[in-house]
Structures are given as C-alpha cells and as structure tokens.
A = this chain, B = another copy of it.
Amino acid sequence: MKKTLLVDMDGVLADVYAQFQACEAQKFGAPKPEAYLMGKWENEAFPLHDEYVNNGTFFIDAPVMPGSPAVLEELNRAYDLFIVSAAMQFPTSLTQKQTWLGVHFPFIRWQQIIFCGTKRQIQGDVMIDDHFSNLDIFTGEGILFTQPHNQLKDAGKNKRVHTWTDIAAYLL
C-alpha cells in the first residue's frame, strides 16, 4: 500500500518569495536584499504582505518552484499524493490556487486537493512543508522545505531539504 504524502503549496510548490520580491520591485523599484529576508516571517519581511496577496493575481501568477513539476509527477506515481494548502485566510486565493495547480501540475486531480485553515485535521504519512506550525501538529514524518523564514532554525524532528532535487533523492 502506498504511503500518503501531503505536499504544501506556498513556499514548496509555489515560489512565493519570488512573487513577493516581484511585488516589491514593482512597488519600490527594487526587491528586498536577500540577506534581509533570513529569519523573518513573510509579513515581517514584506510589510505590504496583505496588500500583495490580496491583489487578485498574486497566487495565479506565482512562479513554480524550480524542479517541482517533474519530481511531483514521479511522486504522484509512487505515493498516495495530496496537495494541502492553508488557503482559507485569503478567500480570493482559492480559485487562483486551483487554477494554478491545473496549469502547472495538470496530473493532479481534484480529488487530491485540500484547502484548509489549519492542517491539524489532515492526516497522512509524510508531509512536506516550510512552516513549523504545520509540521509540529503533524503526527507523521515531517520534511522541512528551506525558505528564508525558516533558514536560521534547527529542523528539529523534521528532515530538512533545500530543493526539489533533495526531495527526489530522499523520497524516490
């Protein structure tokens, strides 16, 4: 029986930092220095966070995390795969996110998508996420995807990965 794998969207499949930086560049003429982002929450690093994510196109235009489509397609064969996104805080993101998945990951069926507020009620064997808040309440195996906000922290009980190549090497 295949293991159940739960994969996060923002900061794992979707390169939201690249998208925040594009918004910064458009608003202020330049992105934030990379070093400035380290160890800061997204809404701390980008004070206009809420304005950006509610601009109507933030999620549908988000760049794909490099290497993720090919690896996720393989994982989709090897695991019982679900995309799990804590999307409810931003109501306008729901349709954008579903459309975005269809464009970049067309092999993901609607049966495999879960949008929630908290991931506390979602069960599975393995979870890939960039937020400790999701991994800490997960009872299965946690894989921490490196992003600027978590970069300075110890991965704790989770396996840390930096790229989708790392994920392929670890899970496939």
- Interface on A for B, CB 8 Å cutoff? 4, 6, 82, 84, 88-89, 91-92, 94-95, 98-99, 109-118, 121-124
* Dominant SS among interface residues on chain A: mixed
**Is the CB–CB distance between B123 and A112 below 8 Å?**
no
**Is the CB–CB distance between B117 and A110 below 8 Å?**
yes
**Is the CB–CB distance between A121 and B88 below 8 Å?**
no
Residues on B with beta carbons closer than 8 Å to the beta carbon of A99: 91
**Is the CB–CB distance between A91 and B98 below 8 Å?**
yes
A124 to B110, CA, bound (A): 22
Shortest CB distance A54–B (Å): 13
Selected contact of A117 from candidates B6, B94, B112, B121, CB within 8 Å? B112
